Structure 1
């Protein structure tokens, strides 16, 4: 930052210099540089007026990321553009960004709330396409706040204004690029990954994290999640019921579980129970959709789940998948499991407690080395 001075300081320096000259010493300028006329001072010296004029002016805005219980993102339609947007808008002069976020949701959706938790701060450059030249867009700092997960009752309480907002919908994260401006979609997905990571506010530049996490690098949620909404049943799969697939909730020593991410699609998968040497394996339960049950498409047969404690991991056998350790909650948030997901998650934590493992703290999922690990 340039060092500031003002005319009073200059006058004082000139007085000090004159006195020093009478005493036989070289005159000094502000900052202690002897023998230099302040009018020829180095370029890092500015008056407050010069410094203020040198600072770039940017716009400021605030939006709120809201999800429903299935992990879909709230976007709204407006009467002045074709693509969808997160709720929010410009920060007024003298207004705090978090206050602007609350005001905008009250004005646009009729919902009162406070949104103190920031998910991301994005720098939108002045040369971003889509702004008319006459607008003289100077660039923008945009804050993304966490609006939390809204229940059906809260969604039903939404009241749209007479103009501007024409509708809302909850969109699958992977559908955002088709619904939104490209930069808006990048920002929303980065903010959602930051929420899942749980490591604090992400810094973005044009929607891209400046310090990408494993979820960012692997592009999770860029492909539609496979819906798995069958009813959760504890215990082993009945003999008469065919098993469609068999996955494992495989715990590391810190209580996190193994998660596979397809590098080509960013899709999250639970691994097979044989992914590594394990102890204490028990049949956790299974998912099954009865005929005619909502979400039964593609769910013929049981989706079996086994819980066990990993003793280690061998070298990666399939380079198409990255191996991560994540909390059970993060696994659920990266999956589309419907209401029964809460029942499966409860069973997972019961199994973790039986295996005498700690409840894990939410941290960004950790990518494991391809040459394996031993615990």
Structure 2
């Protein structure tokens, strides 16, 4: 029996089944799988293993005849003692022979490695972890920005690319040596390579109490499609909401601070802001203070320009409120604030936005088209 020609042969050349099978076997690759798991603070689970000096995501090589998702489920059970159904892929990575440092004796042929979304684990599931004796020395949840220092370069690139794909929510990303073939905005600004702001303040859905100074007024500024404006550092993806520190001309009015700062930072014009609530900050270096959060509708967005206070020209992007929360480490107060944000969205008559990749806004934007 003959079969079709090999991909690099002329169509007129025909091969026996035995020859074709031998040719394909000579081009065999490794196949592996890994799982991205986070805790409720957005920190990533990494494993300490005795056979490598660097940390790893849960996962490993596929067994003969095993599908990538079957292998991922098996590895979680074997390595962590936890049974978790996996239904969502985050990335498929072509790891080239040059993209991984291995001993020549290994004769590494390249690998196709699938990354699955293991979800957000609560305290009960984390407490159920039972690392495999003799293989897994322990697990840690670490900030995404710590991965390059803890993992091998290819592993950290892949994990960060998978995390960005999870936040974007648009489906698996195709990688080569950990880098996406079609970079999204989060990839272009190197999101999660800067330590996220860790602010575990309790959320208070009430006016700021008298007697404590207001040090900050940030705003959730809604576009007509239900997404909000977020500002990103173009070098490292560090995120902030529009707003800032009160100035004397604001006359101690948080709404005036937000209106002024949104215009200075992002050339954003907004409707009259309404109060969402506040965060009591007991750890500020100048003493206890209050951080106010407000909500408003975006009414106009002019050309981007440097912030006069910092000289920084931010990347302006639209994201769902849920995506914004994932760009920070706000602890349980973040979830409580998110609830208040959606209450404000409903009062403004704005629809709930579906998850989609973060969208960079051009120099000037007609908001009525969103």
* Bin for the TM-score computed over the shorter chain: 0.7 to 0.9
Match of 2:36 among 65, 70, 80: 65
Match of 1:304 among 277, 292, 298: 292
Task: Tell me the residue number matched to 2:254.
Answer: none
Contact kept, 8 Å, 2:94 with 2:177, in 1: the verdict is: yes
Could you state the TM-score of these two structures normalised by the residue count of structure 2? 0.86
Where do 1:161-200 residues align within 5 Å?
Answer: 161-200=132-171
1:43 Cα deviation after fit? 5.6
Contact kept, 8 Å, 1:228 with 1:336, in 2: the verdict is: yes
Task: Tell me the residue number matched to 2:277.
Answer: 285
| Structure 1 unmatched ranges of 5 or more | 10-29, 31-39
Q: Distance in 1 between matches of 2:286 and 2:126?
A: 29
Where do 1:70-219 residues align within 5 Å?
Answer: 70-219=41-190
In angstroms, what is the RMSD of aligned CA positions?
A: 2.1
Task: Tell me the residue number matched to 1:369.
Answer: 362
Task: Tell me the residue number matched to 1:360.
Answer: 353
Cα distance change, pair 350–265 in 1 and its aligned pair in 2 (3 A): same
Q: Deviations 1:348-373 (Å, cap 9, x if unpaired)? A: 00000000110000000100002344
- Alignment: residue pair count: 337
Match of 2:315 among 322, 326, 332: 322
Q: Deviations 1:3-44 (Å, cap 9, x if unpaired)? A: xx718x9xxxxxxxxxxxxxxxxxxxx9xxxxxxxxx97565
Q: Distance in 2 between matches of 1:225 and 1:42?
A: 55
Q: Distance in 2 between matches of 1:77 and 1:51?
A: 42
Contact kept, 8 Å, 2:45 with 2:57, in 1: the verdict is: yes
Cα distance change, pair 147–374 in 1 and its aligned pair in 2 (3 A): closer
Contact kept, 8 Å, 2:63 with 2:71, in 1: the verdict is: yes
Could you state the TM-score of these two structures normalised by the residue count of structure 1? 0.85
Q: Deviations 1:325-360 (Å, cap 9, x if unpaired)? A: 000000000101011111100000000000011000
1:246 Cα deviation after fit? 1.1
